[in-house]
Amino acid sequence: MDKITPIRFLKLLGIYAKIDLAWLIRDTKYAIAAITADMISNMSAVSAVFLIAIRFDGIGGMSSDEVLFMMAYSTLVTGLFIIFGNNNNIHVSRIIGRGQLEHMFIQPLPLHVQLMASGFGPFTGCGNFLVGMGLLVVSIQRLSIQVTPSWVLTLFLYLLATMTIIVARSYLVSTMAFYSPVAAEEISSVAIEGTWMLSTFPLSGMPRAIQLSLITILPEGLMAWFPAMALLGRPPLLGAYYPLIFAMLLAAVAAFAFKKGMKYYVTKGSNRYLPYGFRR
Amino acid sequence: MSQKDQTVISRTGSAVSLKGVDKHFLQWQRDNHAKGMLRNLIKPEKKVVRALEDVSFEIEKGEFVAYAGPNGAGKSTTMKLLSGMLIPNAGDIRVFGLSPQKNRRALMHRLGVLFGNRTELWWDHPIIQSFEWKKVVWNIDDSTYRRNLDMVTELLDLGPLLKTFAREMSLGQRMRADLGMMLLHSPELLLLDEPTLGLDVVAKRQMIDFLKKINHEEGVTIMVTSHDMDDLEEMAERMLMISDGKIAYDGGFDGLRKITGDLTRVILSMENGDVPTLDDAHLISAKNGVYEFEVDLGQTTVRDLMRRLSDYDGISDVEIKKAPIEQVIARIYQEWK
């Protein structure tokens, strides 16, 4: 049995990247249309908040430049989500609900490796990430942030925590698709994207109860606001390490629930199979 | 096969072994009336469907086995159990001595799985892209990949299709491409669930010839399900029949005919307009002076049959042949019902 070494994993990422590039080159018009639509959608969400911040000279104690920094973080997260979630591997309820996990069982790879690699689309998915990087550079300059290696590492850790929370939330709600494949097929996209707008709203100045509920029960505050504040040197309530701890706990709960759902799946089987959405 | 050069597959030993395998599913029962719906809300009614019950059989390496049975008999469930997609409620399953559940990854290097109503191809990409994807995911070494690519391209006539998008191909072309992709890692066992589903006669012919060839020449063990019994008889030497989750028959196709009474067809061409009658024979069709009878050779002998036919005047031609396996199976299915 071949071992999954870092080189082997990079090769897997490489083939998915190649497939993504091939699509961009072959169907350039459609690919550019899709990339542009993604970027416009995200830019309109973040610019709405930013324009309000300019109009009112900041929001809830955050200056307009700090809001711009938060929007940069949010756009980076959206960019990473699109780069690594190209084939429903993050919205996994679609794969489960459509009975398409069986395509994965016949591959000689661990399921988690397949899921981590199969959505990699760095070419068609990079639009928002590049815009986010641009916004980040501009906001760093305007805020005169000292970019040290430890600050970059902290940024990387927060991005990792945010992505972990997104994936864990998706996998946690997606477990419902093991039990109700028809009803829960789209539950991940509803749960994640349905509240995405909320994640771009600066929570500074909001009542503590609202802030607390939005970083615990519905963790939209951890998508951009909390990490941005922490990176600006003003971590909000519960301390700077809170997103990392929350990400680890949520990931553990999601992994437990997903394993349980998988056991149900291989015991009961899926009485549903839909060919659409499989490798398209 | 990561990735030893495997030009000859060992033809001895067990490829597939099932011992006392049970698999059952719970099926929710839904009522169409308000009262029943409310009752279902409080206490859902569930029915246990026994897909497999105490199923045991063995398939040796190099065998070509047909796996047949009526709809819902448990064929696809068996295929899914063998490929690790489901786990059994009881019993032991081994493929090349390995458990499909515990050794799924190792087995997938040695197994090829194809479901007729599904595709493993990348829909919006040319076939060669899917093949390259498979090379990386299965970790197939360059020489094995090149050799197998050349083989499937030639034998399945895939050359003109390699640059075509999967979504732009006909069903027959797509099935050939899927079959070719399945063979790129030199699998030793093929599990084919309805591979001829929806194929026209030419595409079906190509697929059957190809499967027979790799079974004979490469020693690949093949287990195939189909509802087309004529196809199965042409491909396989051994038939496993399943009914209501139990193995109902395991043997050759001729043995199957004997179960239903060694049915034989006698076709008489009459030249004088007479309508022949034969004792112990059942007239199946009469058209343009050609009469087809079904005779049970368990009740009479060929010699006796010929003696009786020689008494008839006006017979211009006699043909005696085996009953079509399709009809034999239909009769068995009817009896099971």
Q: Which residue of B has its CA nearest to A268?
A: B25
Q: Give residues 301 to 330 of B whose Cβ lies within 8 Å of A.
A: none
pLDDT digits (tens, 9 = 90+) for A39-90: 888 888 788 888 998 998 888 889 999 999 999 999 999 999 999 998 899 9
Query: What Cα–Cα distance (Å) separates residue B103 from each residue in A106, B80, B93, B94, B107?
Result: 12, 14, 11, 10, 6
Cα-Cα end-to-end distance for chain A = 29
Of the candidates B89, B123, B132, the beta carbon closest to that of A280 is on B123
Query: For residue B298, is pLDDT > 50?
Result: yes
Cβ(B80)–Cβ(A83) below 8 Å: no
Cβ(B133)–Cβ(A109) below 8 Å: no
Q: Hey, are the CB atoms on B113 and A103 less than 8 Å from each other? A: no
* Amino acid identity for residue A191 in this structure: A
Residue with tokens 């190809």: B210
Of the candidates A15, A269, A280, the beta carbon closest to that of B136 is on A15
Q: Hey, are the CB atoms on A107 and B137 less than 8 Å from each other? A: yes
Residue A280's pLDDT is what?
56
Query: For residue B2, is pLDDT > 70?
Result: no
Residue B158's pLDDT is what?
92
State how far the Cα of B325 lies from the Cα of B252, in Å rounded to an integer: 11
Residues of B within 8 A of A108 (CB-CB) are: 104-106, 108-109, 137-139
Query: Is any Cβ of chain A less than 8 angstroms from the Cβ of B121?
Result: yes
Q: Hey, are the CB atoms on B87 and A2 less than 8 Å from each other? A: no
Band of residue B3 on the pLDDT scale cut at 50, 70, 90: very low
E-strand spans in B30-149? 45-60, 64-68, 90-95, 111-115
pLDDT digits (tens, 9 = 90+) for B101-143: 999 999 999 999 998 888 999 988 999 999 999 999 999 999 9
Q: Which residues of chain A have pLDDT under 50?
A: none
Q: Hey, are the CB atoms on A108 and B105 less than 8 Å from each other? A: yes
Q: Which residue of B has its CA nearest to A107?
A: B108
Band of residue B10 on the pLDDT scale cut at 50, 70, 90: low
Q: Which residue of A has its CA nearest to B49?
A: A268
Query: For residue B6, is pLDDT > 60?
Result: no
From the list B185, B186, B182, B189, the residue with the least C-alpha distance to B16 is B189
Cβ(A57)–Cβ(A203) below 8 Å: no
pLDDT digits (tens, 9 = 90+) for A6-29: 999 999 999 999 999 998 998 888
SS3 label, residue B51: strand
pLDDT digits (tens, 9 = 90+) for B162-194: 999 999 999 889 989 999 999 999 999 999 998
Residue B12's pLDDT is what?
73
Query: For residue B4, is pLDDT > 80?
Result: no
List Cβ neighbours of A80 (8 Å cut-off, separation of 6 or more).
Answer: A129, A159, A163
Query: For residue B307, is pLDDT > 90?
Result: no
Chain A positions with Cβ closer than 8 Å to B: 1-2, 8, 11-12, 14-15, 18-19, 22-23, 26-27, 102-103, 105-110, 266-269, 271, 273, 275, 278-280
Q: What is the ipTM of this complex?
A: 0.89
Q: Hey, are the CB atoms on B129 and A22 less than 8 Å from each other? A: yes
What's the mean per-residue pLDDT of chain B?
Answer: 87
Mean predicted confidence (pLDDT) in B251-275: 80
B228-233, long-range: CB < 8 A, 24+ apart: B228/B196, B228/B204, B228/B326, B229/B68, B229/B324, B229/B325, B229/B326, B229/B328, B229/B329, B230/B324, B230/B325, B230/B326, B231/B196, B231/B204, B232/B66, B232/B68, B232/B325, B233/B66, B233/B325
